[in-house]
Each structure stands twice: as C-alpha cells, then as structure tokens.
Chain A
C-alpha cells in the first residue's frame, strides 16, 4: 500500500510539473493587497510617526531605509520595508509548487490533495523558509546579528517572509482556497483573473485590522485561519468557506452545507437596472459598473428588447460572529445558460458565476483580505516594552504589551564599527503585562563603547501570550548622569546648554536644542507634553520663544522652568528621570 501511495504521488507530480498554476489571487493582486495591508498596519503608523525604534529598528524611523536581501530566485535586492512585504506577497506563488500549499478547509483542516494545508504551511509546520516561524527567526537575527549586513539581510528576510505569510491570509479570502476547489489538471481561475484585472481598484477599505481591535479572538496566529468550530467562526477561512460559493462548489456538490440559498429562489433583475443606482442598491453592482462599464452599444441593444433582458440571481445570508445580522449577499450565484432546461427536466441546476457575483463577493472578501493581513502584521509586532535604570543602577524592563512575556531579555548596543554586542541578558524572566522585571546591575559598556552613547537595543525572545517563540525589540536610551551643566539660563538662545559628558542625549548649539534621547519613563499622559522621543531636533519657531522644562523622577513632577535647576539639583537626581519640554506662544500665551 505504501508503494502505491508513492506511485500515485509521483504521478500527480508528473501532472503538475511544467504546469503554471495561477493559484490564489494573481501575484500582482497579492502585491497590491499586501501594500494596502501594510499601509493599514501598526508598522506603517510607526513609520509615519518616525517611531520604527519601537520595534527595534535603528534606521531613521521613516521607512526609507533599504534592506539588502535575496528573493527566492537568488536575486539580490535592496528594498524598503513595505517593498519587501509586497515582494513577499508577490513571490509566495513562486515557484508555482508553493501555491499547492495555499489551501485550507477549516471544517476538516485539510489542504489540497496530498499537499500541506495553508495553516501548517504558514505556521512553518511543513518544510519551507518563508513561514511565520521563519519570519520570527529572521526578525530575531535582524535584531541581534553582530554584523550590520547580517542584520540587514535578516530584516529583509523577516519582512519578505511576513509578505509570504499574509499572502496565505489573502488566499483565505478566495473561496476556492477554503473550499478545496481545484481540479487537476489545473486551469486558471476566472475569479482570480477577474480580480487581477481590477487589482488597483478593488474595494480594499472598510474593515478594521482584526488585531488589535479584536485581540480577544485573534490571540494566536492560528486564529486568523480558524477561530471558531470550522463551520462558523471569525477565522477568515471560516468566513469565506461558510458564506461564499466557488466555481466548482456552486450549490452543485454536497461537499459543503453552507452557504444556504435563500428560499426566495432566483430573482430576475433587468440588466438595464443593475447599473442604475436609482433602481439597485447592491454595492457590488455599483462598483463593477463604475470600474468596468458594459459597452454602450450593448446597453442600447438590450434597451431595444422587450422585455428587457434579465439575469437570474440567487441570494444568501452572510454569517459570522462579527457579521451584522441579516447581512445578505444579493449576488451569490446566477442561473446558468442551461438551467432553465435542466429545471424543466426536474434536474439540478448548474449555476454559474459572472462579473456581478464576483463584485458582490469582493465587497466582503477584499476588505477582509486587507484587514486580516494588516492584523497579522500587527500581531507579529505586538510586543512592547521599555527599560530604564532604577535608583540602584539596575536595568528595569517594563512589559508594556497586553500579554505576559516569559523568556530571555537581552540588551545590545552597536559599537563604532556597527558591530552589535550584548551587554546584559537574563533568561527565564517572567514579566506580566504592565509589570516590571530587573536584568540586574547595569554599567554602560566602555570597551568598545557604544557608537551612540545611551542607545541600546532591547530584545525579547520567548513565550508571549499563546506564542511560544515570540520576538520583540525596541531601541531604548539609557540616560544616566547625562546632564552635567546647570540650568540657570531662561532662553534657548543662550549657550548654557552643553553636551553632557559621555552622552549625546541632550545638547545645544546655534540656538537649537538637540534631543537625541528618549524618555526614560513613560509620558505623564498630558497630550500637550511633547515627549523627547518626538522632538529629535527642537527649533523654536518665531512665536515659540519661550520654553520650559519639567523634570519627572519616577513619574513625579519635580520642578519647572530652566532657571529653577542647578547643577547641584541635577547631581542629586536619580539617573531615572524624564524631561518634558513645554513651549509657549509668546503672543497668545497658549501652551
């Protein structure tokens, strides 16, 4: 029996080899959805805010840094983060044999034929190098590799792999992939080719990234595929499997119970009314009529017919834990050309799918393809932590994420040659959400010294929530004894600010206050306080001629105004403090 199975498998491969399979959405469509997803992700927000340091990236924070890495074909590319994600989304179907692993039936857990179910493929349970597991490992190496080129390559791979994984998520929004609807020898998918034609105009918007907005459901990678019982749930595979037909499972097979046809049967809709917004409100109709109009000569010809030609549409209910009640897909399926004849013979109808069915389904599926992909990126980077020194010189880690972290915390820095070195590490450390833990005594390294004094990379790897091998990173600034001058001036134009010894956290020159440091403690919550993190270079405008500083020690306000501080005051401070700068409009007096 074993031998027979091998023979069958080999025979199947012979059928497949040499065949190009356009599985899933088209590669260009995947790239487009991946870009949309990325732009809706937390990473895009961090880029917009200049805060990529929050996920441990040492670039400018603007997302314009190029990471050099290799694509699957061995070609060396230098790309930005979003372009690596988009490239991964594009390349997951290359070579085509990868696409055989892009199917997942949430009810049975099966993939296509003998191939790996996409859930297992995405998790890295089948042999491949661009899974979620691989992305985590690449990310870890991108944060910790000693060489700058190694870090660049691994970060490229991390984002490239994330693109590969969200490609799988996007395929879950293609019902053929969750209803195992492919027929050997393979042929193209009309739905996919159709989507590819309109990839720039697909209805991407309209659904919030599912993580963190629904973090109680999507608390593990698996949940993005299957969150319920397989038949009904918030997993994207469950949603598409339960609610949408596919070309080969269009009410014609007994393979799936759902979706159920509404008992109203087919509804005849005039083709002349379908694209008339005054007569029809189905959003898919409006979308497709606007983006791919039916030629006027045809409409004119049809308008001459009496009665006007009609299409017979079938409707279904769209269901799910997060779907509003009584949601109807008015264009679930259509009467096939032979159906009237089959009905007369009391035979089962064949059904068919056309542009209106596709457009209607896309209104539900494409926004979710984007939102689930963005959600997975958000989930990947959900780890959040901070660090500072306590009064005793111990390095204190605070878990600012919403899940407990159990594992290894390591502090790294880059020396003058960009060689990344670890300073202090602690394994087996458990830090609950919003709790702190200590890495022990910390002394700034001196041989070699950090390239940028006070700048460190905090990396966590271990269990976070349900994920056993999570990784999180953050650039932190540890500013101990950084201010050595007194503060007896009242104007930023004065030259009393000097660069502190051994640190570049705060300096002044030419009337410009340069702040390269970061708050050593979270902000006090006042939205009008500009934290140091967001004031890389602070140049008062003409109207902002007054400025003052607030010093917080362990979160408690200690003083106000430049003139109130003296060197003796600072010498008495704990190294664990935050500075907030307030500026005032000299005309209005507003802060």
Chain B
C-alpha cells in the first residue's frame, strides 16, 4: 500500500512521507479496499499539484497524477482511497463512494493502465475552518489475477504428512498456480495440489501467476499432527483423458488391513474392493474433471481409515487450444518482429537458446514461420505437452518435436523446438 501524507499550509502542499504497507485480502459485495490490490510506489507514482483553496466555498482542491511506472499493465479499475484526514473536520467532497472499511475513494480509471500511462484526477476537500490538514492517498486496482484457498481451513489440524489443497483463482488463460513452489493442477478456475507437510506448523502459500508475470498469493496455516494411518498416492495425479492412474497404499496403522473399498471417482459408490493392501489399485478416468479417489480401509481391529487422493483429468482438445495459443503467440510476435514479446512464451532456458536465433533470423522469420504446419499433438502428460510440426525444406518433409513444459510458476511455456 502506497501512502502519501500531505499537510496543507494555507495554499501550499508539502509531501511529508512515503510509507509502504501491505494489506490482506478480503471479499465483500460492497467495494472493499481489502479485496483490491494496493499499488506500491515501485509500480505507481502519485503526484499532487495545483493546490487551491477557495475561501468562498472553503474547499481545497488538488490535481493528482497517477502514473504506471512499472513494466506491467495495471488492470482496472484503479481507485485512489483517501484516509487519515486530520483534523476530522475536513472531508473529501468529491468522493466516488465510501468503501466497506469506511474510507472515501475516487474512481480514477476504469480501464487497464498501461506501462508509462498516466491519469489525472481532481481531489476536492471540504474544509469549513480552512484548517491545516493532512491525508494519506493510497491507490488500488482490481487485480488481473487472484487466488483463494478453499480447503484446508486456516488453523486446521491435519492428521497426515500431506494435504490436498484446493481453491479458486481468477486470471487470464494459462495462469499457473503453485503451492509452496509446487505446481498445482488447474481445472477451469479451480486448483488442486497434494503438498507435503512437516510435523507441526505449516504455511501453505498459494501463488497464481499470469503468463506476463503478474502474481497473487493467498496463504493458509495448518498443523500436521503426524502420519496418516493410511496414505494413498496417485500416479500420475494429472493428465488428459483417458488417464490411467495407479494408486499405492501405505499402511501406518501398525495393524494389517483386512479390506479396502475404493471409490475411484469420488461419486460415493465403491468401485473396487480388495482384501490385500498390495492389490493393484488402478483406474482409468475417461472423462475430464477433478476426482477425489476415496480409500476406505478397515484394519484387523475393525477400525475404518479414510484416505483420499486427488486426480485432475484435463480435456485434450482444451489443452490443444492452450498450447496453440502459446505457439501462435510466439509466432505472431516474431512476425511483428517483437522478439522480446516472443520470448515471453519461452521458458528461461529456451529464451537463452532461441533469443539469439530469433535475432539472427529476424528478417526471414515471416517466411520461416509460413512454412510451419499446424501443431500436431503427440502426447500430453502432467508436465509436458509434446507436439510436432512439419516443414518442407528443399523438398524434404522435416519433422520437428515441439515441447511445452509446465514451468516452475505453473505457466505452460515453450521449452524446445
């Protein structure tokens, strides 16, 4: 949160302090500043000028200029909240509204604020006693990316050394989600991950990252009380339909398991029953969707132990669309000779490798790209998208493998070609 404190001395304005603060997220139907993202001084500069006090109306006005000083776009709408007006006899006269927190604010810009773009607005303060006053201005915008944890609940105690975490996110296509640095699976605007827990307190930090690098984070603290009596692992835990998954059961009860009833698709109906914990637990998911396989094990003491494994199955055609958007995004940028933009679709290693190639071939790139066939899918796995294209070069049909990798921030990027 970027605060600007100002003091009015008759018609003069003095900038007193710049303060960095950070605020947690909050959701509400009314405009809640806490649900927005405050904009730091490194991203947005605010300048106040042209302070004028009208002695007839006892009103003081300023011109406030907000400039995006970052290299990223700031998604709109952009608000300027005015807080801490001292003395309290002074009020913001032209406020667009008052936030859920009781802070008056101005709507500055409804659209996205591009890099280096500046917008200007007027602030009018009612100052019946023409007192010297100060206030704090803080800019907010609606984040283009957001993320929220639904489960586990804050403070929850988990009787296991791992936990299935899920929640929702908002963001453009190909927004990636990570939990404590581990890439999560996404399905529509939901995310899922099974993350390890250390014994005791754990902070689960979920980060959503857009392809252009904007991020949002939500965190939840949980406590692990130790190993689960029975644990189940899915392998793979994600991919495209049809997805064949095998499950491995770990028995920590100290007692033999006498029966295991498995509901692979989590629909409440048992799909398989075994008496041997080493039985082949396998299931093929033929349709896309998130599935939570439920293993109900009974030990020789008659105690039931429930263990769950998360599986996320994606639609291959949708993934084709995603990969094609990445591929075509790179190509369009290259055709437009915007190599920096083209490199945004590549992971770091590929940037290092293909950056000089793009420069070398810049002039010929439209013709080169024109010889590319459409992408043809070979295989999609949890972390790899494998495609091919064909180029006819001097009468020879040459086949090239194109690889997309789930990058460390969860965004799919081109790795090699």
Chain A contacts to B: CB under 8 angstroms: 18-22, 28, 73-78, 94, 96, 183-188, 190, 193-194, 196-197, 247-248, 252, 268, 271, 292, 294-295, 298, 301-302, 305, 307-312, 334-338, 340-342, 345, 347, 350, 352-355
Which residue of B378, B382, B415 contacts A294 across the interface (Cβ within 8 Å)?
B378
A73 and B197 in contact (CB under 8 A), knowing A309-B397, A342-B361?
Answer: yes
Which residue of B399, B402, B408 contacts A311 across the interface (Cβ within 8 Å)?
B399
A197 and B348 in contact (CB under 8 A), knowing A76-B227, A248-B353, A310-B397?
Answer: no
Are the CB atoms of B403 and A295 closer together than 8 Å? no
A-B contact pairs, 6 of them (CB 8 A): A75-B226, A76-B199, A76-B227, A310-B396, A337-B402, A338-B354
Bound-state CA distance A340–B376 (Å) is 21
Bound-state CA distance A21–B348 (Å) is 13
Are the CB atoms of B378 and A298 closer together than 8 Å? yes
Chain A residues whose C-beta falls within 8 Å of the C-beta of B406 in the assembled complex: 188, 193
Q: For residues 189 through 213 of chain B, which have their beta carbon under 8 Å from a beta carbon of chain A?
A: 196-200, 205, 207
Bound-state CA distance A342–B356 (Å) is 11
Bound-state CA distance A103–B396 (Å) is 41
B357 within 8 A of A: yes
Bound-state CA distance A183–B347 (Å) is 10
Are the CB atoms of B416 and A187 closer together than 8 Å? no
Would you give the 0/1 interface string for B372-406, flagging 1 where the beta carbon is closer than 8 Å to chain A? 10001111011110101111011111111111011
Q: Chain B: which residue is nearest A293 at the CB level?
A: B379
Bound-state CA distance A194–B386 (Å) is 10
Chain A residues whose C-beta falls within 8 Å of the C-beta of B401 in the assembled complex: 334, 352, 354-355
B352 within 8 A of A: yes
A197 and B384 in contact (CB under 8 A), knowing A74-B200, A345-B360, A352-B401?
Answer: yes
- How far, in Å, is A526 (CB) from chain B's closest CB? 40
Bound-state CA distance A295–B386 (Å) is 12
Chain B residues whose C-beta falls within 8 Å of the C-beta of A347 in the assembled complex: 360
Interface-lining segment among B3-11, B138-146, B175-183, B266-274: B175-183
Chain B residues whose C-beta falls within 8 Å of the C-beta of A186 in the assembled complex: 348, 408
Bound-state CA distance A19–B207 (Å) is 11
Bound-state CA distance A554–B388 (Å) is 73
Are the CB atoms of A352 and B405 closer together than 8 Å? no
Are the CB atoms of A28 and B352 closer together than 8 Å? no
B417 within 8 A of A: yes
Bound-state CA distance A20–B183 (Å) is 8
Are the CB atoms of B357 and A247 closer together than 8 Å? no
Chain B residues whose C-beta falls within 8 Å of the C-beta of A271 in the assembled complex: 399
Which residue of B182, B254, B349, B388 contacts A187 across the interface (Cβ within 8 Å)?
B349
Q: Which 8 residue pairs across A and B have the least CB separation, nearest first?
A: A20-B181, A74-B199, A354-B401, A73-B198, A309-B399, A187-B347, A309-B397, A337-B400
B368 within 8 A of A: yes
Chain A residues whose C-beta falls within 8 Å of the C-beta of B413 in the assembled complex: 187
A335 and B398 in contact (CB under 8 A), knowing A188-B383, A301-B376?
Answer: yes
Are the CB atoms of B398 and A312 closer together than 8 Å? yes
B407 within 8 A of A: yes
Are the CB atoms of A305 and B357 closer together than 8 Å? no
Chain A residues whose C-beta falls within 8 Å of the C-beta of B180 in the assembled complex: 20
Chain B residues whose C-beta falls within 8 Å of the C-beta of A307 in the assembled complex: 395-397
Chain A interface main SS type: loop
Are the CB atoms of B390 and A74 closer together than 8 Å? no
- How far, in Å, is B201 (CB) from chain A's closest CB? 11
- How far, in Å, is B282 (CB) from chain A's closest CB? 12
Which residue of A187, A294, A310, A342 contacts B407 across the interface (Cβ within 8 Å)?
A187
Bound-state CA distance A94–B198 (Å) is 11
Chain B residues whose C-beta falls within 8 Å of the C-beta of A294 in the assembled complex: 378
Are the CB atoms of B416 and A247 closer together than 8 Å? yes
B284 within 8 A of A: no
Are the CB atoms of A342 and B390 closer together than 8 Å? no
Bound-state CA distance A541–B252 (Å) is 39
Bound-state CA distance A461–B395 (Å) is 71
Chain A residues whose C-beta falls within 8 Å of the C-beta of B398 in the assembled complex: 309-312, 335, 340
Chain A residues whose C-beta falls within 8 Å of the C-beta of B364 in the assembled complex: 341, 345
Chain A residues whose C-beta falls within 8 Å of the C-beta of B402 in the assembled complex: 337
Bound-state CA distance A354–B397 (Å) is 18
Are the CB atoms of A352 and B183 closer together than 8 Å? no
Are the CB atoms of B348 and A194 closer together than 8 Å? no
Chain B residues whose C-beta falls within 8 Å of the C-beta of A345 in the assembled complex: 360-361, 364
- How far, in Å, is A568 (CB) from chain B's closest CB? 53
A197 and B381 in contact (CB under 8 A), knowing A252-B353, A301-B376?
Answer: yes
Q: For residues 225 through 277 of chain B, which have their beta carbon under 8 Å from a beta carbon of chain A?
A: 226-227, 235-236, 252, 254
What number of B residues sit within 8 Å (CB to CB) of A? 64
Bound-state CA distance A187–B353 (Å) is 13
- How far, in Å, is A27 (CB) from chain B's closest CB? 10
Bound-state CA distance A301–B395 (Å) is 18
Are the CB atoms of A305 and B348 closer together than 8 Å? no
Are the CB atoms of A338 and B405 closer together than 8 Å? no
B310 within 8 A of A: no
Are the CB atoms of A183 and B349 closer together than 8 Å? yes
* Best-buried of B182, B383, B393, B402 by chain A (most CB within 10 Å): B383
Bound-state CA distance A187–B405 (Å) is 9
B38 within 8 A of A: no
Q: Chain B: which residue is nearest A357 at the CB level?
A: B401
Are the CB atoms of B403 and A354 closer together than 8 Å? yes
B224 within 8 A of A: yes
Chain A residues whose C-beta falls within 8 Å of the C-beta of B178 in the assembled complex: 20
Are the CB atoms of B235 and A190 closer together than 8 Å? no
Chain A residues whose C-beta falls within 8 Å of the C-beta of B352 in the assembled complex: 183, 248
A185 and B348 in contact (CB under 8 A), knowing A190-B405, A337-B391, A337-B400?
Answer: yes
* Best-buried of B236, B388, B389 by chain A (most CB within 10 Å): B388
Are the CB atoms of B393 and A340 closer together than 8 Å? yes
Are the CB atoms of A305 and B390 closer together than 8 Å? yes
A190 and B417 in contact (CB under 8 A), knowing A309-B398, A310-B399?
Answer: no
Which residue of B357, B399, B416 contacts A190 across the interface (Cβ within 8 Å)?
B416
Are the CB atoms of A75 and B376 closer together than 8 Å? no
Which residue of B227, B254, B415 contacts A75 across the interface (Cβ within 8 Å)?
B227
B161 within 8 A of A: yes
- How far, in Å, is A441 (CB) from chain B's closest CB? 45
Chain B residues whose C-beta falls within 8 Å of the C-beta of A295 in the assembled complex: 377-379
Chain A residues whose C-beta falls within 8 Å of the C-beta of B397 in the assembled complex: 305, 307-310
A190 and B403 in contact (CB under 8 A), knowing A20-B178, A309-B390?
Answer: yes
Bound-state CA distance A96–B180 (Å) is 11
- How far, in Å, is A93 (CB) from chain B's closest CB? 11
Q: Chain B: which residue is nearest A356 at the CB level?
A: B401
Which residue of B368, B379, B394, B399 contacts A338 across the interface (Cβ within 8 Å)?
B368
Bound-state CA distance A248–B388 (Å) is 21
Chain A residues whose C-beta falls within 8 Å of the C-beta of B226 in the assembled complex: 75-76
* Best-buried of A96, A187, A248 by chain B (most CB within 10 Å): A187
Q: Chain A: which residue is nearest B246 at the CB level?
A: A200
Which residue of A185, A193, A268, A298 contacts B376 across the interface (Cβ within 8 Å)?
A298
Chain A residues whose C-beta falls within 8 Å of the C-beta of B378 in the assembled complex: 294-295, 298
- How far, in Å, is A299 (CB) from chain B's closest CB? 10
A188 and B376 in contact (CB under 8 A), knowing A75-B161, A75-B224, A353-B416?
Answer: no
Bound-state CA distance A302–B376 (Å) is 11
Q: Told that A21-B408, A187-B407, A309-B397 touch, could you supply 19 new A-B pairs with CB distance under 8 A?
A: A18-B205, A19-B181, A19-B408, A73-B161, A73-B196, A73-B197, A94-B196, A183-B349, A188-B405, A190-B405, A295-B377, A295-B378, A305-B390, A309-B398, A310-B398, A337-B389, A342-B357, A347-B360, A350-B354
Chain A residues whose C-beta falls within 8 Å of the C-beta of B377 in the assembled complex: 295
Bound-state CA distance A272–B382 (Å) is 27
Are the CB atoms of A336 and B405 closer together than 8 Å? no
A75 and B198 in contact (CB under 8 A), knowing A187-B407, A350-B354?
Answer: yes
Q: Chain B: which residue is nearest A197 at the CB level?
A: B381
- How far, in Å, is A238 (CB) from chain B's closest CB? 24
Q: Chain B: which residue is nearest A298 at the CB level?
A: B376
Q: Chain B: which residue is nearest A305 at the CB level?
A: B397
- How far, in Å, is A42 (CB) from chain B's closest CB? 26
